[in-house]
Structure 1
Amino acid sequence: MGAVNAKNGTLYVDFQYRGVRCKEYTKLPDTPANRNRLKKLVDRIEAEILLGCFDYAAYFPNSKKCKKFQLIDERERQRKAYFDAADSPKFAEFANIWLAEMKVEWSKSHYMDVEGVLNKYLLPTFGNKKISAINKGQILQFRSILAKVPGRSKGFLSPSRINHIMTPLRVILNEAADRYDFTSPWKNIKALKVGRTEVDPFNLDEVELFLSAVEPEFHCYYTTRFFTGMRTGEIDALMWKDVDLDSKTITVSQSYVRGEMKALKTDGSYRVIHLTERVIQSLRAHKGNNTSKGKDLVFKNSKGAILNYAVVSRSVWYPTLETCNHKRRNPYQTRHTFATLLLASGESPEWIANQLGHTTTTMLFRVYSHYVPNLTRRDGSAFANFLNNGGQL
């Protein structure tokens, strides 16, 4: 709301234009008549701003702000002239160009992931829109619609999944804005808050019951998963050359993701896992039965090919959970189980982090400590025992 104010006995007008507070001083003395005159001027200015026909230079030709607003007007005129042209790029056109350019930088699995997001979510919504015409309101409306899309299980898409979908949209819009010199609509749009990693580990009794109920041909597979903490892609890519039964180690050096054998994501993921005697005995027995095709693979299907994790989950993992009357959990909980069992047994957090492929212990304490009640005490008893034992642990 514009106003008329006074400073040192003379009047000035105060109003908002294009988000900028504008103060323009006059030489008029502060009298009721002059205030009334300037109030009418402010009302007229605000009416023209509302109608979109306000010309700053026409009212204040000597103002320093004239040049600033003229530059903004010219830039918007040029942008409008370009993007209102018949050959103005549409979102789908630019997105396909961008995807082709990025293909050389990405892994096959990441490319497929982004391509899937484009085809399923972004192109149906924004494909026919001009890239410069997409505004912040449309982006936020799209995100609110995603929040109502059914997820894989009961409920709707998670905040993490929605953020995953929104990321390519943000990158594409910002890249187009940079190339075609328009203002990106992605301003002050924050990612949705994501809750803690879903951790629901098995206790040891649950592990034992599961292993006693699982099909014999998958006993070693799940024994190895539960007691090494290997990720699905890592264990599916495991070769016998990386298993040293004499040294009791597994070297994790690759992963199988979406039909592609690939290097691990981070340097920390390359690691040597130390095996318990139980895993060693299970692997020895499994190796002795390894007479079918695909002998280089530790775990494989009946045709000697790499396991399809979706098939194994559907036909082995979840049915075994039902047989044991266990709560429904995803297979990744085998990794969480390994971490919590190690922590509960009192192993060094640094060593555990190394076994899991983490470079620090931060994630261990942030994610897992809640599930190990005796990991840390908060009643001073640990310190008291330390003192009573003469400083001996």
Structure 2
Amino acid sequence: MGSVRTRKDTLFFDFRFLGERCREQTTLPDTKPNRKRLETILARIEAEITLGTFEYGKYFPNSSMVNKMAEIQAKQKPGYTKTPLFKAFAIEWYSEMEPTWRTSTAETYQRYIDKRLIPHFGEMEVSQITKAHILKYRSNVAKQSDGKLKPKTINKFIKCLNMIMNEAADRYKFTPPHLNIKPLKEEKVHIQPLSIQEVNLILANVRPDWRDYLLVRFFTGMRTGEIDGLKWENVDFERREILVRETFSMGRWEYTKNDGSQREIEMSTLVYNTLQERYQNRDVSCEMVFHANNGSPVHTPNFLRRVWTPLLAYLKIKYRKPYQTRHTAATLWLAAGENPNWIAKQMGHSTTTMLFSVYARYVPNLTRKDGSAMERLLASNIDGFHEPVNEAEKQADEELSVSVNQAQQSEAEEVAFWDQFLTPSQTSSMGGRY
């Protein structure tokens, strides 16, 4: 039989449920009307306990006893099977999955499990973790971080938890609790590619020993780990291709980000000539294309501190992370009118979705041709319409025309050169690309 009692002049419930003593504090002062009101509620609680319909969370949603009572009730249901604690299962799951991941991925998941998930769910049976538990955990993480953790980061914690719970549900035949939980809304990532003028300014002012490194980054779209891990054996001068086969990240060699990142990047003439000259003047004892003075791969923190950051500050260019060189390559290719499928292949993307959703908006700004096609259509078909003349565009067009003519002349000379050594059938099979 429960009772309404008082502690420090405020009333609280004292009753038993599922063999446990339950004491739930209220904020009501000890007055006769308040006591009578709580006794009425207590009588209703005991009636529901007798009928087997009492829901602890309905009356005391913020109580620490809610989860405990839910676990006890679940264990008393027919067909209940004891399952391992989350801590033990998470460690077992990690050991089984670790060989399938890259080292950096494995370390990340290990950190999430040890520092984020086990402290909260470790002592709970995997089958007793509910949707409410996950939502409450996510909410607490967001509040405790005070905005320091972005939704994208919190979603990664939950993704790791979901993978563990999926495997547990499959093994112990229960419904995964995370189903229908939508991820937190993530902020849209805005890229900041550099303009061709900024690229030219950087290449003209960077230290000579770093110029080749930045030039290749700007005009190949390689990721930091890919270019830092580039070896001469993966530079095919005969086919004019850079073979992306591995990366150097966090001080070790690893497989690329994914299978799609295993690709062949076609070298432009500028990149080809730069690497050719570098190869001829290389240190034959070093297998790396770009390396520190001692022959080890590029040390990114050192590059940031001593080269990249002071260079942008000196040139008064808004700071970007070096990864923006990859985005710069994509926008320049699009602005030059390259085939989107070819660009996606160069970047290591499986589809062109990324190009049109992220990069395409920069094309008009780079080409200064936004709407000009319509202007030319009207000028050629509508009487009395004259296309407005933009002097800046006119000059740019003239410069572009000169560049195109020079490129065509250079290509014609190159074709003539190779024609001395190739039969007609070989020439046609080359498809015009050398």
Same fold by TM-score greater than 0.5: yes
Q: Which residue of structure 1 aligns with residue 209 of structure 2?
A: 217
- Structure 2 CA distance, aligned partners of 1:356 and 1:50? 67
- Alpha carbons 2:74, 2:80 under 8 Å: kept: no
Amino acid aligned to 1:54: L
Q: Which residue of structure 1 aligns with residue 391 of structure 2?
A: none
1:206–1:149 CA distance, 2 compared to 1 (3 A): farther
The structural deviation recorded for 1:279 is 2.2
- Structure 2 CA distance, aligned partners of 1:186 and 1:53? 32
**Hey, which of these two has a bigger chunk of helix by percent?**
2
The structural deviation recorded for 1:246 is 5.3
Between 1:268-277 and 1:369-378, the stretch displaced more is: 369-378
The count of residues paired between Structure 1 and Structure 2 equals: 320
1:253 to 235, 239, 245: 245
TM-score (norm 2): 0.64
Unaligned stretches of 5+ in structure 1?
Answer: 1-46, 57-72
1:220–1:386 CA distance, 2 compared to 1 (3 A): farther
For residues 165-212 of structure 1, what are the alpha-carbon distances to aligned partners after superposition, in whole Å with 9 as ceiling and x for unaligned? 211111222332343445543242111223434311000121122223
Between 1:228-237 and 1:310-319, the stretch displaced more is: 310-319
For residues 43-79 of structure 1, what are the alpha-carbon distances to aligned partners after superposition, in whole Å with 9 as ceiling and x for unaligned? xxxx5798344369xxxxxxxxxxxxxxxx9975258
1:336 to 327, 333, 339: 327
The structural deviation recorded for 1:345 is 1.6
Q: Which residue of structure 1 aligns with residue 122 of structure 2?
A: 127
- Structure 2 CA distance, aligned partners of 1:50 and 1:209? 80
Q: 3-state SS of the aligned residue for 1:261?
A: strand
2:218 to 196, 210, 226: 226
TM-score (norm 1): 0.70
Matched, 1:51 2:48: yes
- Structure 1 CA distance, aligned partners of 2:145 and 2:204? 36
Matched, 1:305 2:302: no
Amino acid aligned to 2:325: T
Matched, 1:97 2:92: yes
Q: Which residue of structure 2 aligns with residue 160 of structure 1?
A: 152
Q: Which residue of structure 1 aligns with residue 229 of structure 2?
A: 237
- Structure 2 CA distance, aligned partners of 1:311 and 1:51? 68
- Structure 2 CA distance, aligned partners of 1:282 and 1:96? 49
2:377 to 363, 376, 384: 384
Amino acid aligned to 1:278: L
The structural deviation recorded for 1:95 is 0.8
Matched, 1:109 2:83: no
1:364 to 336, 355, 364: 355
Between 1:370-379 and 1:333-342, the stretch displaced more is: 370-379
Sequence identity (%): 39
The structural deviation recorded for 1:259 is 4.1
The structural deviation recorded for 1:98 is 0.8
Between 1:164-173 and 1:207-216, the stretch displaced more is: 207-216
- Structure 1 CA distance, aligned partners of 2:244 and 2:378? 40
- Structure 2 CA distance, aligned partners of 1:164 and 1:118? 11
Q: 3-state SS of the aligned residue for 1:302?
A: coil
Between 1:210-219 and 1:165-174, the stretch displaced more is: 210-219
Q: 3-state SS of the aligned residue for 2:155?
A: helix
The aligned runs of 1:128-207 (5 Å cut-off) are 128-148=123-143, 156-207=148-199
Q: 3-state SS of the aligned residue for 2:326?
A: helix
Amino acid aligned to 1:220: D
1:288–1:112 CA distance, 2 compared to 1 (3 A): same
The structural deviation recorded for 1:243 is 1.7
Unaligned stretches of 5+ in structure 2?
Answer: 1-43, 54-71, 383-434
Amino acid aligned to 2:246: Q
Amino acid aligned to 1:171: M
Q: 3-state SS of the aligned residue for 2:321?
A: coil
Q: Which residue of structure 2 aligns with residue 59 of structure 1?
A: none
- Alpha carbons 1:292, 1:304 under 8 Å: kept: no
- Structure 2 CA distance, aligned partners of 1:79 and 1:313? 62
1:182–1:382 CA distance, 2 compared to 1 (3 A): same
- Alpha carbons 2:103, 2:254 under 8 Å: kept: no
Matched, 1:373 2:364: yes
1:156–1:119 CA distance, 2 compared to 1 (3 A): same
- Structure 1 CA distance, aligned partners of 2:255 and 2:314? 36
1:99–1:49 CA distance, 2 compared to 1 (3 A): farther
- Structure 1 CA distance, aligned partners of 2:185 and 2:142? 13
- Structure 2 CA distance, aligned partners of 1:351 and 1:201? 19
For residues 322-350 of structure 1, what are the alpha-carbon distances to aligned partners after superposition, in whole Å with 9 as ceiling and x for unaligned? 22222222221101000101111222222
The structural deviation recorded for 1:316 is 2.8
Amino acid aligned to 1:109: S
- Alpha carbons 1:131, 1:173 under 8 Å: kept: yes
